[in-house]
Structure 1
Amino acid sequence: LVRTQALAHPAVEFRLSHNGREMQRWGAASAEQRIGAALDESLLAQSLRIDTSAGDLRLEGWIGAPTAARSQTDRQYFYVNGRPVRDRLVAHAVRQAYADVLFHGRHPAYVLFLTLEPGAVDVNVHPAKLEVRFRDSRRVHDFVFRRLHEALAGTRAGAATSEGAAAFGAAQVATSVHAAWHPRQSGLGLPGQSVPLQAYAALYGGSPTSPPADPRDGVDSVAEGAAPPLGYALAQLGGVFVLAENAEGLVLVDMHAAHERVTYERLKNARACGAIPSQLLLVPLPVAVSRREADAVDEHAAEFGALGFELTRVADERVLVRRIPSVLEGSDIEALVRDVLGDLATHGSSARLEEFQNELLSTMACHASVRANRRLELAEMNALLRQMEATERSDQCNHGRPTWVQLTRAELDRMFLRGR
C-alpha cells in the first residue's frame, strides 16, 4: 500500500516505521528515481518510457521490456488521475499489447498513469475506490492497447534510441529503451550512414545485389563506427547461433528465433494488406488427416484462402494441397497443414478464427523459418541481421524468447580479467 502511494507521488517523502523503527524511507525524487528506489533498479533499466496522448487522454510511465517479464503480476501498477486502480479492461488492453512478445506464463511489469477528464470516469463503483468505470470504456481500451502496442513494436533489434527508431520507421511514441545483461539487448543507435539493406535484399525477395564477399569489410566498418546496429556476421556456432561483431562488441543471434519473428511479421503485414501471396504446387500434395480436420477444410475454405492455401478434400480423411503461401516454399508442407488444421479444428467458429489469426500465422512462420543445423553462408547471416534491424518486435521471437544478446567489449574484458 505504501509503495503504491509512493509511486504515485514521487515529490513527497515517504517513511514507513514499525514499533518506532524506520523500515523504509523514500526521499522526494523524480518519478524515474522513485520507481528505481521503490521497485527495482533492474526493472527501470529494462523498461520502455511511455508518454503519449490523444485528445483528453494521456498515458505516461514505464513498461517492462518483454525480456524483463515476471512469473507473477506483482509489479503491475496502474493509476487513473493519480488514483491506483485495478481494472480488468485496462489489464486486458495491456495483455493484448504484449500478446506477440511474451513467453508463455510470464507477465509484464509496468507503472502507468492514465489522465483523462474527471467526468469521463466514475470512481465510486468500489468501496475501497480500487475499481473505476469509464464512460467510454472502448475508447480507453483501444487507446491503451494501441499506444503500448506501438511502443513494443519499436523494439526491433538495435533501434532502441529515438534516432535509430525513426531511421527504421518505428512508431512515433516517445520511448527510450534500456537493457541489462541476462539478456542484454542494449540500443546501439544508428550511424549517419544508410544501412546497406539492398545488399541482402535478394535473399528476401528483393532485387539481387551482391553482398560484401569479404567479412573483414564489415569488421573494418565496425572499427570505423559505420556499421549497422547488429554489425556483420563472423561465423555460425553449433548450427544454431550466428556470431557477429558490431560497434559494442559481440552479438549472438538465435537464427531460428530471429528468422521466425521476421517471417511472422511479413505474414502479418501481408494479411493486413488483404491476402498472403501464394503459389501453385506443380504437383498437388496429398495429406492424410483426421475426419475432424478434413471437416475443417470444408468449413473454413475462405480462411484458408486468406492464409494463402488452397486445399481440396478428396476423401473422408485425405486432402490435396494445391496452393501454398510463397514464403513457405521449401518448408515441410505436410506437417504445416496438419498443424494449421489442428488449430482450425480447435478454435472452431469463424469468429474465433479471426481472434486466433495471429496464432495461425505464428504456426506458419515457425515452419517457414530456418532450422537448426542448417549451414548458412555469411551473406545469408548478414541478410538475417539486416532484416532483424528492419523488423518490428525483432528482439523476441513469436513465443517471447530473446532473439539476440549483446556482449560488450567491457564485459568480455571482465570475463578474461583483462586490465587487472
Structure 2
Amino acid sequence: MNSPAPNIRPVIRLLDEAAINRIAAGEVVERPASAVKELVENALDAGARRIAVDYAAGGKVLIRVTDDGCGMGPDDLPLAVARHATSKIDGSDLLNIRSFGFRGEALASLGSVGRLSITSRPRGEEGHRLVVEGGRMGAVAPCSAAPGTVIELRDLFYATPARLKFLRSDRSEASAIAEVVRRLAMAEPLVGFVVTEVVEGEPARVILRLDPENGDFFDALQRRLTRLLGADFTANALRVDVEREGLHLSGYAALPTYSRGTSVQQFLFVNGRPVQDRLLYGALRVAYFDVLSRDRHPAAVLNLSCDPERVDVNVHPAKSEVRFREPEAARSLIITGLRTVLAQGGTRASSTLGTATLQALRPEAPRVYQMDLGARPSFTTLARAYEAQAPAYPPPGFAEMPSARVEPVAEPSSAPLGAARAQVHENYIIAQTATGIVIVDQHAAHERLVYEKLKAQRDAAGIPTQALLIPEILELSSSDHARLMEAAEALASLGLVIEPFGGQAVAVREVPAILGQASAKALLADVIDELGEQGDAPSLKARMDAILSRMACHGSIRSGRQMRAEEMNALLREMEATPLSGQCNHGRPTYVELKLSDIERLFGRT
C-alpha cells in the first residue's frame, strides 16, 4: 500500500461520472452471469412472457437478452442508462419494493465496462436504438424492431481489462449463466426461457429451452421443475402450501429418502426473488433435523412471500441477501410448515429406491446363440437332458439350511404395506401387496416407530420410566462427566435419570420404559456422543430430539432377531399409522417397494 509522503496532505478529488460507474459496476456485475441476471430481471419487470438469452465465450464476448415486454420509447432510452434512474420506485419508500430491480444501476454499470446497445419498441410505436461504449453514450436513432426490447452487451470489461483476469474459463462462466436462468425460471413458471450458445462459424447450440407453462400455479411449477430437476424430484416431492401471520410458504419439498449428498438441489426465493440467505437455509436444515443424518441434505424449491415492507431487499447491490423484520416468524414458518408437510407424507419413501433396487438385481443380458436346425437333438436326448437337470428333492443339506418361509396369514392384501410372507437373514421382512412386494428393514422401521412414540410421550405427559433394580455405575472422563451433569435435568425429562456418584462416576437409576432391557452403559455412551457432536444446536428441543433419536435405537428390534408372522404384520400396520415411517431417524429408507410388473420385466415375462 502506497502511503503519502510525510507532511504532504493528500488532495480530495471529485471522481468523474465514468469512474463512478466503473466502481459501481464492480459491485453489480461480478461476472457475465451477474449481467444476465440483471438483464433477465429487467425483462421480467417489463412483463415479458418469453425471454431469450444468447451468449458467446461464456458471456465475455457477447450477451444478448431479448424479451417481448412493454418496451421503451426514445425518451426512455437515455434515462435507462443513467445511473440511479429507474421506473420501479419513486424513491419515497425503499421498503415497499415489488419488482426485481429498483436501484437503477445495472444498465449504467454495463454501459461503463462494455459495449452496450439497447433496441426497443413499445407496441403500436416505432423502434429506437441507443449505443453506450465505455460510459460514452451515443444518440438515440430510429430502427426497425419487434415489440419488446433487445439488450446486447459485447466485450464485457473491455473498459476495465484487469477484471477479465478474475473470470473463470468459458465453460464455468457459461454454466453460471445457465444456473442463473434456471433459478429465475423456477420463480416464473408462466414465462418461457431459451438459452443459446453462439459460436462463430458454427450453428447456435440451444442450452436450455423452457416453454411457458399454463394452468394452476402449482401444476405449472411442478411441470417446470420436472424439466429442470428431473421427474425423480417431482415424483418424490411433497406440495408445500402453508400460511401463518401474513407469511406464505409455497413450493415443493422432497421426501427425506430423496436426500442429496450436497445442497445443490436447494432453491429458495423471497417474493419470487432468488436469494442466498443463511437464515432460510438454516431453517430448511432444521426442518429435516430428525429425518436426515448430518451428512445428507434435503432437496426443495420454496418461495416465502410476504408484504414487501416486512423484508428489506436493499442490503447488497446484487440483491441476493435479504433481512426480515421478524426473522423468527419466517424461520418458524419454514420449520413447522415443512415438518407438518413431511408428517402428512405418511409412510411414503422415495420411488427411486425401487428403481435402484431393480437395477441392482438386473443381470447382464444373456448371450443368445442361434441353434442349427439341421443339428437339433432328438426327443429322447431332450428328455434325458431335462431329467438330468431336475433338482434332487430334498436337496442335499436341506435339513441344515435355515428356512425363512412364513405361512399366509389372514391380513388384508389391500393394506399399503401388504401382508408379511417371510423374514430373510433375520432382518428383512418380505410383504406381499396387491400390486407387488415390499422389503422392510425391521430394525430401521422399528427405530422410527420407537422414536415417534418417545416424542409423543414426552409432549403428552412425560416419558414413563422404569427404575433399575441395581443402579448402573459408570466411570467417565472429566469432560464427559461435566457435559452429562449439565444436561441431567433435561435428560430426566426424557426418562433417563442419572445422579453423581462421587468423583467422575455417575449412577443410572431410571431409563425409559419403552426401551425394555436396553443396556444402560451403551445407552449412556450414545447420549454422551450426541451431546458432544451437537455443539451449537439450534434449540433445546432439537437437542433433546437428537438424544431421543439415539435412545430409540436401543429399544428397537435388533437385526438378527427372528419374528413371528403376527409380529411382522403388527410392525407393518404400525408403520402405516405412523408419520415419517418411510425413513429411519437418519434418513435411510425403512422399506423398498417393487411393483409386480417391474419384477416380471426383470425376469423377461413381459
TM-score between the two structures when normalised by the length of structure 1? 0.81
Secondary structure of 2:296's counterpart equals coil
Are residue 328 (structure 1) and residue 515 (structure 2) matched?
yes
What does residue 14 of structure 1 align with?
Answer: 193
Aligned residue in 2 for 1:376: 563
Per the TM alignment, residue 146 of structure 1 is displaced from its structure 2 partner at its CA by 0.8
The percent identity for this pair of structures is: 39
Q: Whose radius of gyration is greater, 1 or 2?
A: 2
Match of 1:179 among 351, 361, 364: 351
Distance 1:349 1:178 in 2: 31
- 2-structure distance, mates of 1:295, 1:57: 42
Q: Secondary structure at the match of 1:268?
A: helix
8 Å CA contact retained: 1:47, 1:179: no
CA contact (8 A) 2:238 2:345 kept: no
Distance in 1, matches of 2:416 and 2:545, equals 28
Q: Do the aligned residues in 2 keep the contact of 1:15 with 1:25 (CA within 8 Å)?
A: yes
Distance 1:122 1:156, change over 3 A: same
1:173 aligns with none
The residue correspondences of 1:77-156 to structure 2 (distance < 5 A) are: 77-156=267-346
In the TM superposition, residue 255 of structure 1 has moved relative to its aligned partner by 0.6
- Structure 2 equivalent of residue 27 of structure 1: 211
Give me the whole-angstrom Cα distance separating, in 1, the residues matched to 2:287 and 2:537. Answer: 23
Match of 1:286 in 2: 473
Alignment length (residue pairs): 368
Pick aligned residue for 2:410 from 193, 212, 217: 217
TM-superposed deviation, 1:384: 1.2
TM-superposed CA distance for 1:95, in Å, is 0.6
User: How big is the shift at 1:413?
Assistant: 0.8
Partner of 1:263: 450
- Matched residue of 1:356: which SS? helix
RMSD, matched Cα: 2.5
Spell out the pairing of 1:245-394 with structure 2 (5 A cutoff).
Answer: 245-296=432-483, 298-344=485-531, 355-394=542-581
What CA distance in whole angstroms lies between the structure 2 residues aligned with 1:48 and 1:40? 15
CA separation of 1:178 and 1:263: change in aligned 2, threshold 3 A? closer
Q: Which of the residues 182, 185, 193 maps onto 1:3?
A: 182
- Residue 526 of structure 2: SS of its match in structure 1? helix
Q: Secondary structure at the match of 2:241?
A: strand
Q: Taking structure 2 as the reference length, what is the TM-score of the superposition?
A: 0.57
Instruction: Give, in whole Å, the separation in 2 of the partners of 1:244 and 1:383.
Output: 12
Distance in 1 (alpha carbons) for counterparts of 2:352 and 2:529: 39
Q: Using CA pairs below 8 Å that are at least 6 residues apart, which structure has the higher relative contact order?
A: 1
- For 1:67 and 1:349, the matched residues in 2 are separated by 26
Alignment-mate amino acid for residue 206 of structure 2: E
Q: Is the 8 A contact 1:287 1:334 kept in 2?
A: yes
Note closer, same or farther for the CA distance 1:286–1:22 as it changes in structure 2 (3 Å cut). Answer: closer
1:231 aligns with 2:421: no
SS in structure 2 of the partner of residue 3 of structure 1: helix
Query: Are 2:570 and 1:398 equivalent residues in the alignment?
Result: no
1:253 Cα shift? 0.6
Distance in 1 (CA, whole Å) between partners of 2:478 and 2:189 is 62
Query: 1:215 is matched by which residue type in structure 2?
Result: P
Distance in 1 between the 2:298 and 2:538 partners? 28
Greater Cα offset, 61-70 or 315-324? 315-324
SS in 2 for 1:285: strand
Q: Structure 2 vs 1, CA of residues 286 and 60 (structure 1 numbering), >3 Å: closer, same or farther?
A: same
